[in-house]
Amino acid sequence: MNKERGLLLEIGCSVGWFCGLAVAMGWLPVGLDISFSSCREAKEAWDIITVCSDSLPLPFKSQTFHLVLLRHSLEHLFSPKKVLSDVRRVLKEGGWVVLEVPNANSLGRKIFAEKWDTWELPRHLHHFTPKTLRKVLEQAGFKDIKIVTARHKPFLLANLLCSKRHPLAELVRILLGLPTWVLLPFMMVCQEGEVLRGWAQKQSNEAS
């Protein structure tokens, strides 16, 4: 990704802290969220442009933004393919989409199955693996797709086995947590971290 700064759209901006950070990094952010109160708070806190909307198509002209960001938003939306297709429409040629979603291929999901704490039904309408996230980006017309995993939850097992208020809880958390840090490099290579981070480009020779 090049270092050009410009217009940035965050879909699911909540109270806008990332848009505020983007301003400090030289971007001109626009926050979009379904919540009117969140949009108002983001505007008041960070003095940014906010748009309250949950509709498609996105309320922006084609080829407007250099970067579109969806941080833990895509899994909440009814039609990820339609959303990403419209994201591609509002991106400038050569622009990028950046996503972060829970990883349904994570080690935590494989260990805890139906007790995995990130299912979050019915709030999460979709769950992605590295393969399915890549596929939906390809179906939306994106190229140069990169997907990595990040984060793990070393204390999740301890939380399930021992109440946080138990006198031995902290000791159990440490004893069970330390071995998982050793596994972290292998989890990253096998794409088994708790979240997926992906980015993809709208090629400059493509039509909007």
Count of domains observed in the chain: 1
- Burial environment of residue 61 by CB neighbours within 10 A (0 to 12, 13 to 18, 19 or more): exposed
> Contact at 8 Å (CB) between 58 and 84?
no
CB atoms within 10 A of CB 98: 17
Which residue range(s) make up the domain with 177? 55-201
Query: Is 4 among the domain residues?
Result: no
Q: Which of 5-14, 24-33, 130-139, 166-175 has the lowest mean pLDDT?
A: 166-175
Residue 181 clears pLDDT 50, i.e. is over it: yes
More confident residue, 187 or 117: 117
Residue 87 included in any domain: yes
- Does residue 180 carry a pLDDT above 50? yes
Residue 30 in domain:
no
Compare 68 and 205 and report the one with higher pLDDT: 68
Please check the confidence at residue 94 and state whether its pLDDT lies above 80: yes
First to last CA, the chain: 20
Q: Which of 144, 146, 178, 174 is CA-nearest to residue 159?
A: 174
**How far, in whole angstroms, is CA 91 from its chain's centroid?**
18
**Within a domain: 42:** no
Quick check: 25 pLDDT over 90? yes
pLDDT digits (tens, 9 = 90+) for 186-205: 555 566 778 899 999 998 76
User: Which residue type, as a one-letter code, is found at position 141?
Assistant: G
d(C-alpha 78, C-alpha 128), whole Å: 14
Task: Find all residues with CB under 8 Å of 107, minimum gap 6, and list them.
Answer: 152, 183, 187, 192, 193
Output the domain CATH number for residue 64: 3.40.50.150
Distances in Å between the alpha carbon of 131 and those of 41, 180, 183, 186? Answer: 36, 24, 22, 18
Is pTM beyond 0.85? Reply is no
What are the pLDDT digits (tens) for 143-177? 999 999 876 554 455 555 555 566 666 666 566 55
| Residue range 118-145, pLDDT digits in tens | 777 888 889 999 999 999 999 999 999 9
Residue 89: phi and psi, rounded to 5, are: -60, -45
On average, the pLDDT of the chain sits at: 84
Residue 96 reports pLDDT greater than 90: yes
Q: Which residue has the higher pLDDT, 111 or 85?
A: 85
Maximum pairwise Cα distance, the chain: 62
pLDDT given for residue 206 in this prediction: 54
Is 80 part of any domain? Answer: yes
Say if residue 58's pLDDT is above 60.
yes
- On whether residue 13 sits in a domain, the answer given is no
Residue 84 lies in a domain: yes
